[in-house]
Structure 1
């Protein structure tokens, strides 16, 4: 495949040469660097590239150019390469024009000249933009293919695992795609044994378990060591933050996660209130950045489910589902919360076959031009509704209350109100689900009575609860399963703390076991808060280790 292109435009030849040299030095291995000395010349180049089916990943244009300004060029380029990232180079005096251009030319960033040193002022910005561009770029597919029927819970589980671990794949339904049957026949696989996962190396897995799939795609399922300074259980925002700080501060850090980095936040289609991202970002992208950061700093990741923790002689022994054990000085619980199940007739029967919990990113494209129902009125439901609105013909939000104001952020309420294919139905509940092999109809209790609606897709976001029944009995939780720690532990469970010293802020009733994020009692259920707790937990880990 030809390399994607970075196109630099500036009428000052010396500045253009400097831009090109900086781009080549950092990106020449993966991208082709092309230059133009004017906006008009750059547009001609764009048209020629388009005719040859070449791909432009990023435009980097000066603002002050005779004949055509950088903003004017980027507006024209938007119509030719709408997916390319657009960066404007400006003098300090042009800052106001650059800010206005964020809307008019939909530029993604502006940089003040000069940008020396590029390692600090140029490359970090372009790295983020190019990484974001790669997420949306779809080259000719040569990777994993998942062959399965849409309404199979196992097929959904496989696709959800691959999606949440950011592993590209192509989904082929043999009921709609004859090529899928031809691929199975070529491999000598019976189409009654779906789902089947085909790999680029010619191998295949028939009805694979998640562990088998993880091993095949290179996700570790066995730890490299037997002992760690700290084992973080859960790779949501709190666990990832703890991994970043623990590894960066020299602790041998292992993060254990049963599904994929990101936790519940990782399934959010767009987070718009996270500090530092004015255009918002998906939970998947946030998880990916944190995962890469923690990995680069030395944290180790392991795809396993923890089933038991026990303490022996100031050590914590963490047992996995496969029976393997890991010893550590400190264990940090960052397991977050899981979506609550809807308790109505048919919910269990159609789970994974038309009824889904927090699977907006995995299933949205399969719902193109259909009518989708969402149960829930908090931010996660609102984010999902906005995401589905891009694909579905109609999105119905069903909420028990009389408005969204009590449970949803205003920015989301405003967006939903301005989206014509989203319908908010208040004082409405699902009372039953019906169908044969998959969901076909919903029975609703509405303000005017009982109704039956046709749909094949229901997505449920009705709050979340901790899954902590596997924890040792010595580790004290409240009546709902949230873990008590620090001052809350002493206030809510007098006598549970046995040492002379007070527990550290995030320390549980078992010395050496800490907790951070949504699973902690009385935590603020926000992504930024979870990141903060995961970060500061490492400070208390150091204090605890100093006492050993």
Structure 2
């Protein structure tokens, strides 16, 4: 295995050479020193290192660089190597920016230039940071390779699963020589895709999410049979609950069917979350929360679908789709919501082949210089429009209503108005889609006049509606007509407690119709659909879990 890397980036060639020279002189026998002269080049180098399954111990970035400054680079680098230690190189005049960056990018240290002599001003700082990294390094991960068709829905689903779970992989099409060689080596044809080749050389043909997770290093089974609390769903509410439950000593397991972060994890930029004045990507926020929960001792298991909840005396039993189960004293339901499917003709057949629900950030680079259509008028759609505007020739935001003011935060509306390549189309719905191997055109309809017209595009991203994934709770847990979990005083009808309620008290604020089963975040009826409120409800649910357990 190659030595872990130390990456330095500075747009001044002389400074770049000097810092790389000083770092190599001290650490070159144990670390591979990689030098870049722009933030973009440094990110490309990091992506290559990630794909090779190698590790990065330390990042040193100059603050004042054109196009992408040091803070912006370190923020982007966190998605690739969250455990790498981060240092900002600054001039004396930039110390204010460096201090601000401590919260924005979890900055470990900032160094003033010049740092001579390095024995006094550079090496002691780096020694301490490298020692801290060695105590908890990024694990070395081999290369996972995925072979598939560009417009194959199962291939997209596999790539999206790996990307959202931060599993590094290399994508190869069936048209590439190496892709064909891997198919031949696995003894399968070009129609048997996706083919996933794991770091240990095992070939997986059309793997399920659970099979894929097992072979790429994700944890898929709980370590114990019984816990104080099981949290179902690893979105903001579930992660918030896991951090607080584990930090307070509760035996905690977090169960996620797809990927950490939920819908929020797909957001390209969240700018109204407390403590991040310059915004943070959903993936970064989710990854920080995941690491925080694991640090406190929570377990996180992935690719496990919960299909049944059963009260069993004082215990609560959760059954998985494979027939196994886990029990606990209490449960926090934080399954969030999913985007509502469009029902217009042709869309179902093209899902994953040009029609996507959610941001599908893995597809953004492929949209370069093309026309992209986004359906929705809430914050998630607005964030996606801003994000895709970096790549697309033009982004078309399709809104059923007369504008964005009723459903989108003002800061996003202001951003969209300032981006010339985003065009908002009010009173517009998708009436149909057509294509062969992938989406080729959309039929758009004016919701007032009924007049329709056709546009050519290969990209449609849908961000509408909020459907809770709660069918598996029927008939045990009371839900409202839309499927959201009813909690607290809303369960009381004319002052009467819900049928089957066994305790001599009313349900707690976030408690469902089953004692000891709580709901937090978007899945809860009458909840506020925002990241901050979901995190808050996750934390509140844990305080109510404590009250429930103390009374048992």
- Unmatched 5+ residue regions in structure 1? 9-16, 35-41, 48-52, 62-70
Whether 2:152 is the aligned partner of 1:152: answer: yes
Residue of structure 2 in register with 1:198 after alignment: 197
Distance 1:215 1:504 in 2: 38
Distance 1:334 1:56 in 2: 34
- Give the 3 Å change call, closer, same or farther, for CA 507–387 of structure 1 in structure 2: same
Deviations 1:503-544 (A, max 9, x none): 112111110111111111111111011111101211111110
Whether 2:452 is the aligned partner of 1:450: answer: yes
**C-alpha contact (below 8 Å) 1:237/1:531 kept by paired residues:** yes
Distance 1:343 1:285 in 2: 33
Residue of structure 1 in register with 2:272 after alignment: 273
- Following superposition, the deviation at residue 300 of structure 1 comes to 0.8
Residue of structure 1 in register with 2:81 after alignment: none
Whether 2:413 is the aligned partner of 1:406: answer: no
Residue of structure 1 in register with 2:170 after alignment: 170
Q: What secondary structure does 2:522 align onto?
A: coil
Residue of structure 2 in register with 1:12 after alignment: none
Distance 1:506 1:28 in 2: 56
Alignment map for 1:203-352 (pairs within 5 Å) = 203-303=202-302, 304-352=304-352
Alignment TM-score, normalising by the size of structure 1: 0.79
Residue of structure 2 in register with 1:489 after alignment: 491
- Give the 3 Å change call, closer, same or farther, for CA 245–5 of structure 1 in structure 2: same
- Following superposition, the deviation at residue 79 of structure 1 comes to 8.9
Whether 2:381 is the aligned partner of 1:377: answer: no
**C-alpha contact (below 8 Å) 1:234/1:335 kept by paired residues:** yes
Distance 1:428 1:385 in 2: 16
Alignment TM-score, normalising by the size of structure 2: 0.79
Residue of structure 1 in register with 2:479 after alignment: 477
Residue of structure 2 in register with 1:65 after alignment: none
- Give the 3 Å change call, closer, same or farther, for CA 28–450 of structure 1 in structure 2: farther
Distance 2:269 2:519 in 1: 26
Residue of structure 1 in register with 2:16 after alignment: none
Distance 2:382 2:309 in 1: 37
**C-alpha contact (below 8 Å) 1:88/1:98 kept by paired residues:** no
Distance 2:368 2:306 in 1: 37
The count of residues paired between Structure 1 and Structure 2 equals 490
Distance 2:70 2:549 in 1: 58
Q: Structure 1 residues 469-478 or 289-298, which shifts more?
A: 469-478
- Following superposition, the deviation at residue 89 of structure 1 comes to 5.7
Distance 1:82 1:345 in 2: 42
Distance 1:309 1:372 in 2: 41
Distance 2:327 2:415 in 1: 48
Deviations 1:320-376 (A, max 9, x none): 000001111101101111111112111211111211100331221222222211111
- Give the 3 Å change call, closer, same or farther, for CA 541–28 of structure 1 in structure 2: farther
- Give the 3 Å change call, closer, same or farther, for CA 524–28 of structure 1 in structure 2: farther
Which of residues 532, 535, 545 in structure 2 aligns to 1:531?
A: 535
Distance 2:213 2:426 in 1: 42
**C-alpha contact (below 8 Å) 1:365/1:391 kept by paired residues:** yes
- Give the 3 Å change call, closer, same or farther, for CA 541–182 of structure 1 in structure 2: same
RMSD: 4.1
Structure 1 stretches (4+) deviating beyond 4 angstroms?
Answer: 27-34, 53-61, 75-86, 88-91, 99-103, 106-113, 491-494
Deviations 1:228-257 (A, max 9, x none): 110001111111111111111111111111
